[in-house]
Amino acid sequence: MKHLVVLTGAGVSAESGLSTFRDSDGLWQQYDVMELASIQGYRRDRSKVLAFYNDRRNNLLTVQPNHAHHVLSELEKVFKVSIITQNVDDLHERAGSTNVLHLHGELRKVTGSMNPNDPKCIKELPLDQPIRIGDKAADGSQLRPFIVFFGESVPNMPKAAKIVEEADIFIVIGTSLVVYPAANLVKYVPRESPCYIIDPGNFDSSLTHGFEHIKTTAVAGIDILKEKLFDNQGL
């Protein structure tokens, strides 16, 4: 099986009804990112940050995977598929994808404030159960969302880079490649591997030189991509 590595971003989740962060009508137009999504903001006002992420967790209960999520799952019948996602939702998993690496954390999970990447502190919490002040992790520290806040390192980047280095085919869907360090992953793609981007936006040509651009949304573009992949594989 050819190894298909897919980097996904907010544009995939947006078509399921989840608000993006950076678009003109995104969450950062409504909220102060440094107050609500930075480690400094969390240290200043934990209650405010927990309330924001409890809302995000509740909102995840109202949405379902879309056509793009389902097609990516179905591609596992033909390819070895590794999904690296900037999204913190679980829509890829709900659609049936079995190999998903989250770069920025997962809304379904919580962890400790002292050592957020300690496996002993990371656990799932039902989305309809809020994280409250006083809730404790295994190490005794305050529970917090298992999210990579601004100002924190992205612990899964080395693992993601290694996966991209093994790509026979590399695909970017629903991200404008302006978020770092995730955007740097394109630099690890093997030179001989075909590359595709599905997104209605424009890109820095220095990052995407040699990529075939399917200039539309994830849902509209996924079948175009599937046809190209199957044609190239003689399927």
Q: What residues are labeled active site?
A: 104
Q: What is the spatial distance between Cα 50 and Cα 109, in angstroms, rounded to a whole number?
A: 13
Whether 107 contacts 57, CB under 8 Å = yes
The C-alpha torsion from 109 through 111 and 116 to 122, rounded to 10°, is -70
What's the one-letter identity of residue 88?
A: V
Listing from the earlier edge strand, what are the strands of the sheet with 169-173?
A: 100-102, 80-85, 3-8, 169-173, 195-198, 212-214
Closest by CA to 168, choosing from 31, 54, 4, is 4
